[in-house]
Amino acid sequence: EWRTHRQRMKEIFPEGWNPTRKLSREAMEALRSLHALDKEMFTTPVLANKFKISPEAVRRILRSKWEPSKEK
């Protein structure tokens, strides 16, 4: 399943992932917290519509665990 998804993403984004609209760190945290609050209500398509980004961007944000260091 992941291989087919990966192959499909390479077909859709041949140069790699570079979204046209980018969210701030605060918006990403808000997106994650809404999804954590109620996963049934705040699904990927709902969050994509609410934040005006693609469902693929939402999926990547939810999957990502990276956080900036405390120094920054």
Q: Give the pLDDT confidence of 8-46 residue by residue, as tens digits.
A: 888 888 888 777 678 888 999 999 999 999 999 999 999
pLDDT at 1: 83
What's the pLDDT at 18?
Answer: 72
Cβ pair 55, 48 in contact under 8 A: yes
How far is the C-alpha of 62 from the C-alpha of 23, rounded, in Å?
A: 13
CA distances for 51 relative to 4, 34, 68, angstroms: 27, 11, 22
pLDDT at 56 over 80: yes
What is the predicted pLDDT for the residue at 72?
54
